[in-house]
């Protein structure tokens, strides 16, 4: 029904008001692989992959894949036997599968039948034959008890040849930034290859969801990646609401949109400043951080939290916004809009800045599609891919459909393009914020929500960085049995490896910042 009628998979549309998600089961691993190949041919994407332990429910294990197609998302599951949980390697079709498959093996102990088998999230803090997300995986808590922490070696791909050498960076980086390891292979200053080793932020989040109630889950999901707390909270709320068969009011949906767009603007403001700074234009940092601080202070006034954590909850929102506050938001949009416009002219006309931005860190649309990239990075290659916006065959979920979101694109694919997309998205978000604030209907803020035993759902939200997904399944006891959050950084980190190739080492911070990816969001 997505691709061809002869696929032996029946898809059903998930209920609710969230992004369109079709769900189905693949009869066999070959069918899954065929579906993946057909999706790839149709220029679709691999959005997320994870595993679950179904042995307590009388099964074995289960592999879950979410594919992005023009009309929406297809959530495909594949049952695996308890004795031999192996599935076909999808990394040959979608390179983005590589790290997700390795993480799934580390976490659940189900493996692909080929390809890269190096551990990803497991650095040696727990044994290779112990899988945290299996229901019988118990561990002792406390320092000095439990597993010995034995940091293991990692088999980086080596680059040979005369003059080639390696620069190891991290896990602790030079700035105020999350930890991760970058291995550069260089000749002189030119980068031949970058290989990332992540997982340093892995703090066992997925395990913590198991057995938690809806409220506790909401607190956790808002702390997967602090800069995207609204996007995660909304995706989780969508998933829980779909699983429990309830719908948030249109007022609640618009208040969520208000918060999500404020989150987008806050992050773009900060990053545009940091991008100026990384090109030795400290003026840019100071100016944009000033605007960001004004923005966050109004957040604190209106929502009671500078980053609006815990304000989007399953069932609706946990904060009311009075008309006076909406007026303050509209007023601030006008001020920030005019300031950003002036700064954009200064950025555009600054030769030194443009010299660093233009043709630096380039990826093209074909590569972006191959890597299943979403968000700013994808739109900066000209791809019209934004879950909030209409496109051929796709109608965005409320409240976006009625707002008529205009996706911002740029075809150059370089740092300059990602800067331009961010500038454009600030203007578009300011327009949306004004429209939302002016047209805010009355209605319930939060409807009561009760867990539905055995229910499951998937939420998809266009966060500031890209597409955030959260999958939820309740157990028979009404507690969360499995939650899988997926950050767009999974797909974007490999894109960064490509973007930096052939550029010089000193351009890396700039290229890195133009994406500004989440470590915590992907390390879980």
Residue with tokens 């189900």, as numbered in its chain:
110
Which CB, 228 or 409, lies closer to other proteins? 228
Cβ atoms within 10 Å of 508's Cβ, excluding its own = 22
Using rule CB under 8 A, residue 342 touches other proteins: yes
Q: In angstroms, what is the minimal distance from the CB of 198 to other proteins?
A: 9
Q: Does 200 bind other proteins (CB under 8 A)?
A: yes
* Cα 169 to Cα 4: distance, rounded to the nearest angstrom: 47
**Closer residue to other proteins, CB minimum distance, 223 or 431:** 223
Based on the shown chain and the rule CB under 8 A, indicate whether residue 199 belongs to the binding site for other proteins: yes
Separation of alpha carbons 237 and 319, rounded Å: 15
In the complex, what is the shortest distance from the CB of residue 282 to other proteins, in angstroms, rounded to a whole number? Answer: 10
Distance of alpha carbon 155 from alpha carbon 161, whole angstroms: 19
Using CB under 8 A, which of the segments 62-70, 72-80, 338-346, 369-377 binds other proteins?
A: 338-346
Output 190 or 297, the one with its CB closest to other proteins. Answer: 297
- Give the one residue of 17, 86, 192, 289 binding other proteins; rule: CB under 8 A: 289
3-state secondary structure of 14: coil
With residue 186 as reference, give the H or E element that holds it. Answer: strand 181-187
Asked if residue 125 binds other proteins (CB under 8 A), the reply is yes
Position 369 contacts other proteins (CB under 8 A): no
Residues 6+ apart with CB under 8 A from 174: none
Q: How far is the CB of 292 from other proteins (least distance, A)?
A: 7
For tokens 């034995």, what's the residue?
150
3-state helix, strand, coil in the chain (%, to 5): 40, 15, 45
Measured CA distances, 390 to 71, 397, 413, 512 (Å):
10, 10, 22, 30
Cβ proximity to other proteins: between 137 and 365 the closer is 137
Closest among 92, 127, 132, 136 to 112, alpha carbons compared: 92
- Do residues 413 and 358 make contact, with C-beta atoms less than 8 angstroms apart? no
Quick check: 293 binds other proteins (CB under 8 A)?
yes
Number of residues that bind other proteins (CB under 8 A): 59
Q: Identify the H or E element spanning 232.
A: helix 229-244
Q: Which stretch binds other proteins (CB under 8 A): 27-35, 84-92, 153-161, 346-354?
A: 346-354
Tell me if 104 contacts other proteins by CB under 8 A: no
User: Contact residues for other proteins (CB under 8 A)?
Assistant: 123, 125-126, 132, 137, 139, 141-143, 146-147, 149, 151, 171-172, 174-179, 199-205, 207-208, 219-220, 223-227, 229, 270, 283, 286-287, 289-290, 292-293, 296, 306-307, 309, 342-343, 345-346, 349-350, 518-520
């Amino acid at each position: 029904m997505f691709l061809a009628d002869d696929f032996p998979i029946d898809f059903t549309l998930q209920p609710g008001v969230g992004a369109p998600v079709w769900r189905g089961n693949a009869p066999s691993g070959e069918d899954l692989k065929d579906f993946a190949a057909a999706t790839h041919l149709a220029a679709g994407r691999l959005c997320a992959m994870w595993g679950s332990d179904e042995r307590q429910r009388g099964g074995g294990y289960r592999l879950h894949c979410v594919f992005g197609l023009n009309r929406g998302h297809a959530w495909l599951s594949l049952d695996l036997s308890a004795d031999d949980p192996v599935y076909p390697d999808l990394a040959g079709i979608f390179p983005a599968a590589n790290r997700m498959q390795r993480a799934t093996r580390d976490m659940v102990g189900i493996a692909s039948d080929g390809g890269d088998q190096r551990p990803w999230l497991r650095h040696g803090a727990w044994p290779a034959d112990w899988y945290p997300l299996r229901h019988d995986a118990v561990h002792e808590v406390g320092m000095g008890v439990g597993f010995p922490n034995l940091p293991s070696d990692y088999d980086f791909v080596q680059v040979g040849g005369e003059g080639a050498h390696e620069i190891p960076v991290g896990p602790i980086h030079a700035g105020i930034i999350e930890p991760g390891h970058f291995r550069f292979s260089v000749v002189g200053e030119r980068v031949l290859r970058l290989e990332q080793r992540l997982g340093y932020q892995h703090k066992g989040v997925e395990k913590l969801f198991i057995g938690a109630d809806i409220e506790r889950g909401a607190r956790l999901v808002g702390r997967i990646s602090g800069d995207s707390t609204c996007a995660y909270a909304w995706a989780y709320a969508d998933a829980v609401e779909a699983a429990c068969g309830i719908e948030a009011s249109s007022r609640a949906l618009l208040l969520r949109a208000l918060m999500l767009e404020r989150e987008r603007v806050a992050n773009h403001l900060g990053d545009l400043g940091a991008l100026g700074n990384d090109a030795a234009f400290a003026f840019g940092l100071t100016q944009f951080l000033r605007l960001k601080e004004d923005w966050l202070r109004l957040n604190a006034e209106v929502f009671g939290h500078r980053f609006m954590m815990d304000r989007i909850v399953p069932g609706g929102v946990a904060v009311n916004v009075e008309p006076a506050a909406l007026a303050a938001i509209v007023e601030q949009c006008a001020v920030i809009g005019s300031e950003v416009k002036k700064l954009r002219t200064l950025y555009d006309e600054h030769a030194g800045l443009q010299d660093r931005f233009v043709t630096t860190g380039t990826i093209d649309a074909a590569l972006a599609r191959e890597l299943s990239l979403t968000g700013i990075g994808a739109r900066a290659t000209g791809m019209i891919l934004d879950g909030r916006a209409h496109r051929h065959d796709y109608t965005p979920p409320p409240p976006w459909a009625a707002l008529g979101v205009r996706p911002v694109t740029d075809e150059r694919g370089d740092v300059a393009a990602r800067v331009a997309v961010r500038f454009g998205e600030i203007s578009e978000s300011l327009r949306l914020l004004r429209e939302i604030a002016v047209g805010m209907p009355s209605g319930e803020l939060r409807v009561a929500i009760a867990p539905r035993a055995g229910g499951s759902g998937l939420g998809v939200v266009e966060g500031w960085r890209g597409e955030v997904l959260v999958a939820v399944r309740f157990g028979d006891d009404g507690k969360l049995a499995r939650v899988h959050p997926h950050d767009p950084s999974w797909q974007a980190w490999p894109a960064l490896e490509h973007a930096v190739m052939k550029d010089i080492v000193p351009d890396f911070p700039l290229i890195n910042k133009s994406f500004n990816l989440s470590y915590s969001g992907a390390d879980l």
